[in-house]
Chains A and B, each alone.
Chain A
Amino acid sequence: MSVPAVVVEDPPEDYLQEHTLKSWLLTTDHKRVGILYMISVTVFFFVGGAAATLMRLELMTPRGDVLATPDAYNRLFTMHGVIMIFFFLIPAIPAVLGNFLLPLMIGARDLAFPKLNLMSWYVYIIGGMIGIWIMVFGGVDTGWTFYTPFSTMFSNTMVVTAAVAVFITGFSSILTGLNFVVTVHTMRAPGMTWFRLPLFVWSHYATSLIMILGTPVLAISVVLIALERIFGVGIFDPALGGDPILFQHLFWFYSHPAVYIMVLPGFAVVSEIIPCFARRPIFGYKFIAFSSVAIAIFSFLVWGHHMFVSGQSMYAGMIFSILSFLVAIPSAIKVFNWTATLYKGSIRLDTPMLYALGFIGLFTMGGLTGLMLASLAIDVHVHDTYFIVAHFHYIMVGGTVMAYLGGVHFWWPKISGRMYPEFWGKLSAMLVFVGFNLTFFPQFLLGYLGMPRRYFEYRPEFQVLNVMSTAGASILAIGYVMPLVYMLLSLRKPPNAGPNPWGATGLEWQVESPPPVHNFHDPVVVTCDPYMYSPEEAERDYAHDQHVRNA
Chain B
Amino acid sequence: MHTTSTSATLDDDQPLLMSHFDDLEQQHDASNLGMWFFLATEVMFFSGMLAAYAIYRSLSPEAFHLGSRHMHLWLGFANTLVLLTSSLTMALGVRASQLGRRNQVVWYLLATAVLGIAFLGVKAVEYTKEINHHLFPGKHFVVPADDAEALMKVSATPEELHLNLGRFQMMFVLYFCLTAVHAFHMIVGIVIVLIMAELMRRKWFSGHGTTQIEVLGLYWHFVDVVWVFLYPLLYLID
Contacts and interface: CB of A to CB of B under 8 A. Distances in A.
A111 to B, nearest CB: 8
Interface stretch (A38-46, A72-80, A177-185): A177-185
A250 B44 CA distance: 11
Contacts of A178: 34, 37-38, 41
Contact of A212 (B2, B40, B63, B164): B40
B166 A239 contact: yes
Contacts of B166: 234, 239-242
Given A178-B34, A232-B138, 19 more contacts: A182-B37, A183-B30, A186-B33, A187-B20, A217-B47, A224-B48, A224-B49, A227-B177, A232-B139, A233-B169, A234-B170, A235-B170, A240-B166, A241-B60, A241-B170, A242-B166, A242-B170, A250-B48, A250-B52
Contacts of B2: 28, 110, 114-115
Interface of B: 1-2, 19-22, 26, 29-30, 33-34, 37-38, 40-42, 44-49, 51-52, 55-56, 60, 63, 137-139, 163-170, 173, 177
A216 B44 contact: yes
The SS class assigned to the B binding surface is helix
A461 B138 CA distance: 50
Interface string A219-252: 1110010010001111100011111001001100
Nearest to A519: B20
B4 to A, nearest CB: 12
A112 interface: yes
B45 A216 contact: yes
Contacts of A234: 137, 166, 169-170, 173
Nearest to A247: B52
Interface of A: 26-28, 108-115, 174, 178-179, 181-183, 185-187, 212-217, 219-221, 224, 227, 231-235, 239-243, 246, 249-250, 253, 518, 523
A217 B26 contact: no
A181 B26 CA distance: 14
Given A240-B170, A241-B170, A250-B48, A109 B20 contact: yes
**Which residue, of A174, A182, A183, A187, has the highest number of chain B Cβ atoms within 10 A?**
A182
A231 B138 contact: yes
Given A240-B166, A241-B170, A242-B166, A217 B48 contact: yes
A213 B173 contact: no
Contact of B45 (A111, A181, A217): A217
A178 B173 CA distance: 31
**Which residue, of B26, B44, B45, B63, has the highest number of chain A Cβ atoms within 10 A?**
B44
**Which residue, of A112, A215, A239, has the highest number of chain B Cβ atoms within 10 A?**
A112
**Which residue, of B1, B20, B38, B44, has the highest number of chain A Cβ atoms within 10 A?**
B20
B15 to A, nearest CB: 15
A235 B37 contact: no
Nearest to B34: A182
B3 to A, nearest CB: 10
B52 A235 contact: yes
**Which residue, of B21, B41, B51, B169, has the highest number of chain A Cβ atoms within 10 A?**
B41
B41 A213 contact: yes
A7 to B, nearest CB: 15
Given A113-B30, A178-B34, A241 B45 contact: no
A27 B44 CA distance: 31
A214 B163 contact: no
Contacts of A523: 22
Contacts of A114: 2, 20
A181 B39 CA distance: 14
Contacts of B49: 220, 224
Contacts of B167: 241
A450 to B, nearest CB: 35
Contact of A233 (B46, B47, B56, B137): B137
A113 B31 CA distance: 8
Contacts of A182: 30, 33-34, 37
10 contacts: A108-B20, A112-B34, A182-B34, A186-B30, A187-B26, A187-B30, A234-B166, A239-B166, A243-B55, A250-B48
B44 A231 contact: no
Contact of B48 (A27, A221, A231, A518): A221
Contact of A518 (B19, B21, B30, B169): B19
Contacts of A224: 48-49, 52, 177
A185 B173 CA distance: 40
Contact of B29 (A109, A186, A249, A518): A186
A108 B26 CA distance: 12
Contacts of B139: 232
Contacts of A212: 37, 40-41, 44
B1 A27 contact: yes
Nearest to A213: B44
A109 B139 CA distance: 57
B138 A26 contact: no
Contacts of B169: 233-234, 240-241
B51 A250 contact: yes
A172 to B, nearest CB: 13
Given A240-B169, A240-B170, A220 B55 contact: no
A52 B182 CA distance: 41
Nearest first, the 5 closest Cβ-Cβ pairs linking A and B are: A241-B166, A220-B48, A216-B45, A110-B20, A233-B137
**Which residue, of A187, A235, A241, has the highest number of chain B Cβ atoms within 10 A?**
A241
A233 B138 contact: yes
Nearest to B28: A186
A103 to B, nearest CB: 8
A217 B42 CA distance: 9
A242 B53 CA distance: 11
B165 A220 contact: no
A174 B49 CA distance: 19
B161 to A, nearest CB: 11
A233 B173 CA distance: 7
A283 B58 CA distance: 50
Nearest to B141: A233
Contacts of A220: 45-46, 48-49
**Which residue, of A174, A231, A233, has the highest number of chain B Cβ atoms within 10 A?**
A233
A185 B33 contact: yes
A108 B54 CA distance: 44
Nearest to A109: B20
Contacts of B56: 241, 243
B130 to A, nearest CB: 14
A174 B40 CA distance: 11
Nearest to B26: A186
Given A182-B33, A227-B177, A241-B163, A214 B44 contact: yes
Nearest to B177: A227
Contacts of A214: 44
A113 B52 contact: no
A253 B166 CA distance: 26
Contacts of A227: 177
Nearest to A217: B48
A293 to B, nearest CB: 16
Contacts of A246: 52, 55
Contacts of B45: 216-217, 219-220
